[in-house]
């Protein structure tokens, strides 16, 4: 797939990846393994651009006792290549913990351990990534009315001169963005749970008396448990609209919604069935909590009632309103959804565990967005191979790692299907990379036929 270039042209990569989170780390691994199997002429040239100075994935929520909610076998590679040297088991072997992990008899490693695995894997392919490179523009390279390449411009902190990378394909893996309620901004006393650990470290030397945590999902419950343990003199108030935390359904049959085959089912299903599948199985991932954590919090709350020292308070069927920050506190009110009654509740810190939203997958594309097709709701039209449907004059492929829940189902933003997904994208890049030569031959044949 290589090509001779004029001296003044930038090098052409078969693939440029935007972002280097778990999805694009898995993509880099798949490329590395592919290139190791094939000859030089069939190798796929690729590079990834990441605005962070180093690899990091939800660092603010690496609570020391928090565990993953997905099996270690759903790592970056195993479901695609069980013999891969990049697997979680290979990581454990390299750290001298393989036997210890096996004896632990647990499918779900500590989250901080899995993050260390991701960092370990990222280092093994770091020749393919430029950290500290923020993508600021994507521009089409047009020849004879056809977009042959895309120029990706990145800005670095160390240089005022932007760097331009030319690509035949883009793989966009820009991840998720913290979501706050409308009208609420993050401040020194109003946080999103994604920044928990960093913000908590900033409280050292102080003695907060009350935290308020908004939300009913896993992250909210983890925040409540962590703060209750970390600040033994402080009151921790949980506010949520439900009656109580709902347990996650991780049973064997329900978990089949994360199977690779489920992506095919979802993709081909009518819109009505897509909606039903999301409604039926949202409790495998959205606004649900591991039952062990639910039981632990209930135990703590009941024990405090028995002892008469109630620091853990639950405001259910309620919402937080009238949030106003003062110099040394946050004034709020808890409104009952049943009676409408408001209870004043001042806090040192308010934490919103209100989830994430997908980054605008096409937001960086500039005028290239005009070539991308959207559905009636304004969402990108995405083909089964995760390639955005585009106008025929755009020869380049634009692939999405995330932001495809509407087309590919619940696994779009989760770890469960990463290994399979990157294999499918790579296969598409390789197969479609052969198409231009075929098109050229067909065009030449057409010209010859027309001249006869």
The pLDDT of residue 159 is 64
Answer whether 0.85 is exceeded by the pTM.
yes
Distance between CA atoms of 294 and 245, rounded to whole angstroms? 7
Write down the pLDDT at residue 2. 36
| Structure confidence at residue 8 (pLDDT) | 61
- CATH code of the domain occupying 12-175+359-445: 3.50.50.60
The tally of CA atoms less than 13 A away on the side-chain side of residue 22 is 24
- Tell me which residue of 148, 165, 150, 15 sits closest to 436, measured CA to CA: 148
Name the phi and psi angles at 168, rounded to 5: -85, -30
CATH of the structural domain 179-248+285-355, one choice from 3.30.2320.20, 3.40.50.980, 3.50.50.60, 1.10.260.40: 3.50.50.60
> What pLDDT shows up at residue 232?
96
Reduced DSSP (H G I as helix, E B as strand, rest coil) percent helix, strand, coil of the chain, to 5: 35, 25, 40
Structural domain spans, the chain = 12-175+359-445, 179-248+285-355, 254-284
Mention every residue, 6+ apart, whose C-beta is less than 8 A from residue 123.
55
Tell me the C-alpha distance between 288 and 142, whole Å. Answer: 48
Consecutive sets of 10 residues in the chain, 452 residues long: mean pLDDT of each?
A: 51 96 98 95 96 94 94 97 98 98 95 98 98 96 95 85 95 93 95 96 92 97 98 97 95 93 96 94 91 97 96 97 95 98 97 91 92 95 97 97 94 90 97 60 38 41
- CA 69 – CA 78 distance, rounded (Å): 17
List alpha helices for 334-434, DSSP H: 405-408, 418-433
Question: What confidence score (pLDDT) does residue 437 get?
Answer: 41
Question: Which has the closest alpha carbon to 227: 286, 300, 162, 134?
Answer: 300
């Amino acid at each position: 797939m290589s090509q001779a270039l004029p001296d003044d042209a930038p090098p052409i990569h078969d693939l440029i990846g935007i972002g280097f989170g778990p999805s694009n780390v898995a993509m880099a691994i798949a490329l590395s393994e592919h290139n190791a199997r094939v000859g030089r002429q069939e190798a796929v040239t690729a590079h990834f651009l990441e605005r962070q100075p180093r690899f990091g994935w939800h660092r603010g929520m690496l609570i020391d006792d928090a565990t993953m909610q997905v099996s270690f076998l759903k790592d970056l590679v195993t479901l695609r290549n069980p013999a891969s040297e990049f697997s979680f088991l290979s990581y454990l072997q390299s750290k001298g913990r393989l036997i210890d992990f096996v004896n632990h008899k647990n499918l779900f490693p500590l989250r901080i351990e899995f993050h260390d695995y991701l960092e370990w894997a990222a280092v093994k392919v770091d020749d393919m990534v430029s950290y500290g490179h923020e993508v600021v523009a994507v521009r089409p390279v047009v020849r004879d009315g056809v977009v042959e390449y895309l120029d990706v411009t990145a800005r670095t902190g160390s240089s005022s001169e932007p760097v331009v990378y030319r690509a035949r394909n883009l793989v966009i893996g820009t991840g998720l963005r913290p979501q706050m309620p409308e009208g609420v901004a993050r401040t020194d006393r109003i946080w999103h749970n994604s920044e928990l650990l960093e913000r908590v470290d900033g409280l050292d030397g102080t003695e907060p008396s009350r935290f308020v945590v908004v939300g009913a999902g896993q992250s909210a419950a983890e925040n409540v448990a962590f703060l209750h343990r970390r600040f033994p003199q402080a009151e921790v108030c949980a506010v949520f609209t439900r009656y109580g935390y709902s347990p996650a359904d991780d049973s064997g049959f329900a978990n089949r919604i994360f199977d690779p085959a489920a992506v095919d089912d979802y993709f081909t299903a009518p819109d009505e069935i897509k909606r039903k599948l999301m409604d039926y199985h949202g409790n495998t991932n959205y606004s649900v909590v591991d039952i062990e954590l639910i039981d632990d919090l209930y135990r703590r709350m009941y024990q405090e009632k028995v002892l008469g020292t109630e620091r853990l308070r639950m405001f259910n069927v309620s919402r937080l309103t009238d949030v106003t920050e003062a110099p040394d506190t946050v004034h709020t009110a808890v409104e009952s959804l049943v009676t409408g009654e408001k209870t004043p509740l001042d806090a040192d810190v308010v934490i919103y565990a209100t989830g994430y939203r997908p980054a605008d997958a096409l937001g960086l594309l500039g005028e290239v967005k005009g070539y991308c097709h959207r559905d009636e709701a304004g969402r990108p039209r995405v083909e089964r191979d995760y390639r955005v449907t585009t106008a025929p004059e755009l020869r380049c492929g634009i692939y999405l790692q995330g932001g495809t829940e509407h087309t590919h189902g619940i696994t779009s933003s989760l770890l469960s299907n990463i290994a399979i997904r990157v294999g499918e994208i790579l296969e598409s890049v390789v197969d479609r990379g052969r198409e231009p030569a075929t098109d050229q031959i067909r065009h030449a044949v057409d010209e010859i036929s027309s001249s006869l």
